[in-house]
Chains A and B, each alone.
Chain A
Amino acid sequence: MSSLMNAQGIGGLIFIVLFGGFAIAYFRMWRWVVGPDGNQGDKDS
């Protein structure tokens, strides 16, 4: 475990994953709000 904490690159990787994850989530939320209306896919939650 300590080698994971200290190793180079792991932190950077986690940073990218975290940031990327949030960015993607926000993008998808945005699409959900202003996405096309109408009958396709009743994504109501």
Chain B
Amino acid sequence: MRETNAEKEFAYEFPTAAGIRYRVAIGILGVLVLAGLVAWINQLIFGLGETGMKNSVNWGIYMTNFVFFIGISHAGTLISAVLRLLNAEWRRPITRVAEAITVFALLLGGFQLVLDSGRPLRLVNVFVLGRLQSPLLWDLASVSVYFASACFYLLLPLIPDLGALRNQPGLTQLQKKTYAALSSGWNNSSRQQQRLKRVIGIMAILIIPIMVSVHSVVSWIFGLTVRYMWHSSIFGPYFVVGAIFSGVAAVVLSVAVMRRTMRLEAHLTALHFNKLGALLLVMACLWFYFTLAEYLTTGYGGMTAELAVLKMKLSGEFALAFWAMILCMASAFVLLLLRKKSVIGMTTAASALIVVGMWLERFTIIVPTLTKPLEEGYNFGLYRPTLTEWVISSGSLAGFALLLIVFARFFPIISLWEIQEAKDPTRESNIGCTAPLISGAGELVETNV
């Protein structure tokens, strides 16, 4: 058994026993999800009046969450697909978590529409009676197609790893059965490897226009109306840029957490955070540019009704949210510029700020336009989210985190065969039914193929 230092550093302990931190995390997140469910049932019984929404501001933080989650889901596509096409080698340890984030974000994002619906049981009507003219239908169509694509794009590169690990000691019975089922038929022959690479290549190209269409269509839910400061031609590209921006930040956050809690410091190094930080910097520049273009056009042009909405954002009822957003983004920008001082810490901090800032961005796009500057009153005045909305929202976020953590527990969160492939491109991936890369004890075991 030869174990060089290089091979030892490669060792990834999987499966690991469920430590105390895992159990605590699951416990807390589970409670939040449960609370969200209870609040939702309450809302189903007593109606959407449990929220702070009203006849003027008829969309609130549920729609904000919807756009936010769909935005986050663009992470996987960019990192997994685009970086793959660009042959950026550093993507290898993070493709799987990015792909997983995409799937779970789409799930929770789509669910926000169910939460926001006045008659959720009637949602079937969209399939039976759907009208082609409605941007909401385009949205449902493109998000569903993206979801199917994301699931496939997560599953496909998972197959070789599952095939290699299906006899790994330490797996539960359920895991063994699942692995066997998902990787059934995989025998790691060169033909299958070629085909796998071929299909992954096709998916990488195919999923990019799907991704662009998804958030463009989401933006057009707002952009195609005639409401002041919604009816803006910049919305399509603006939302896509914002989505990629928030998505990459979400990946950085997840990777940072994973790195510590799963002891993956050897795989997820300063190099990765540096590259991701550079990517975030580029997206930040784009985001600032689009934001400037949007507000400059509105403000300088000076149409009265539009100015009223702009005033609410800059100095009125929504000034707090707006300037908090700018502060988050600007601080993140500075942190990213200076990230060399402490790459991992600063990039992670910047990402946290970006995620918060992007949520605020969605909020300040949706709510001010619907608000009219009115006095307080029964059905008038400022929208204030109620406890129900906060509990349901935190339940959604907790649900997303829960799915991700459980996935990382029961599936290899790093794409092992891709890393192996990089280490030795001249020979075929040394994985398959009989040659595991890792052992339960975390030592690299090399056997004959």
A–B contact at 8 Å CB threshold (below): yes
Show the binding face of A for B, using Cβ within 8 Å: 4-16, 18-19, 22-23, 26, 29-30, 32-37
Chain A binder among B93-101, B128-136, B298-306, B378-386 = B128-136
Which of B140, B149, B159, B202 sits near A15, CB closer than 8 Å? B140
A-B residue pairs, 7 tightest by C-beta: A12-B130, A11-B130, A34-B185, A11-B132, A26-B152, A8-B129, A5-B133
Chain A binder among B192-200, B241-249, B254-262, B275-283 = B192-200
Do A30 and B152 touch across chains, with their CB atoms under 8 A apart?
A: yes
Q: In which size bucket is the chain B interface? A: 20 to 34
What residue of chain A has the Cβ atom nearest to residue B187's Cβ?
A37
Residues of A within 8 A of B195 (CB): 32-33
CB distance from A40 to the nearest CB of B (A): 12
B415 within 8 A of A: no
Residues of B within 8 A of A35 (CB): 185
Which of B127, B156, B184, B202 sits near A16, CB closer than 8 Å? B127
Which of B149, B184, B187 sits near A22, CB closer than 8 Å? B149
Q: Which residues of B from 417 to 434 have beta carbons under 8 Å from A?
A: none
- Expressed in whole angstroms, the Cα–Cα distance for A26 and B152 within the complex equals 7
Do B159 and A34 touch across chains, with their CB atoms under 8 A apart?
A: yes
- Expressed in whole angstroms, the Cα–Cα distance for A18 and B306 within the complex equals 38
Show the binding face of B for A, using Cβ within 8 Å: 126-134, 137, 140-141, 144-145, 148-149, 152, 155-156, 159, 183-187, 189, 191-192, 195-196, 199, 202
- Expressed in whole angstroms, the Cα–Cα distance for A12 and B149 within the complex equals 20
Which of A15, A33, A36 sits near B130, CB closer than 8 Å? A15
What residue of chain A has the Cβ atom nearest to residue B152's Cβ?
A26
CB distance from B297 to the nearest CB of A (A): 30
Which of B126, B141, B149, B192 sits near A14, CB closer than 8 Å? B141
Do B183 and A26 touch across chains, with their CB atoms under 8 A apart?
A: no
Do A6 and B185 touch across chains, with their CB atoms under 8 A apart?
A: no
CB distance from B257 to the nearest CB of A (A): 30
- Expressed in whole angstroms, the Cα–Cα distance for A5 and B127 within the complex equals 15
Residues of A within 8 A of B137 (CB): 11-12, 15
Which of B128, B189, B202 sits near A37, CB closer than 8 Å? B189
- Expressed in whole angstroms, the Cα–Cα distance for A42 and B131 within the complex equals 43
What residue of chain B has the Cβ atom nearest to residue A19's Cβ?
B144
Residues of A within 8 A of B187 (CB): 37
Residues of A within 8 A of B128 (CB): 9, 12
Do B133 and A6 touch across chains, with their CB atoms under 8 A apart?
A: yes
What residue of chain A has the Cβ atom nearest to residue B163's Cβ?
A34
Known A-B contacts A15-B140, A33-B156, A33-B199; A8 and B130 likewise in contact (beta carbons under 8 Å) = yes
* Residue among A23, A26, A30 with max Cβ neighbours from chain B (10 Å): A26
Do B185 and A9 touch across chains, with their CB atoms under 8 A apart?
A: no
Do A32 and B199 touch across chains, with their CB atoms under 8 A apart?
A: yes
Do A34 and B186 touch across chains, with their CB atoms under 8 A apart?
A: yes
Do B199 and A9 touch across chains, with their CB atoms under 8 A apart?
A: no
Do A9 and B141 touch across chains, with their CB atoms under 8 A apart?
A: no
CB distance from A19 to the nearest CB of B (A): 5
- Expressed in whole angstroms, the Cα–Cα distance for A45 and B34 within the complex equals 49
- Expressed in whole angstroms, the Cα–Cα distance for A29 and B195 within the complex equals 9
28 A-B residue pairings within 8 Å (CB atoms): A5-B131, A5-B133, A9-B128, A9-B129, A14-B130, A14-B132, A14-B141, A15-B130, A16-B127, A18-B145, A19-B141, A19-B145, A19-B148, A22-B145, A26-B152, A29-B199, A29-B202, A30-B155, A32-B199, A33-B156, A33-B195, A33-B199, A34-B159, A34-B185, A35-B185, A36-B185, A37-B189, A37-B192
Which of A6, A12, A23, A33 sits near B127, CB closer than 8 Å? A12
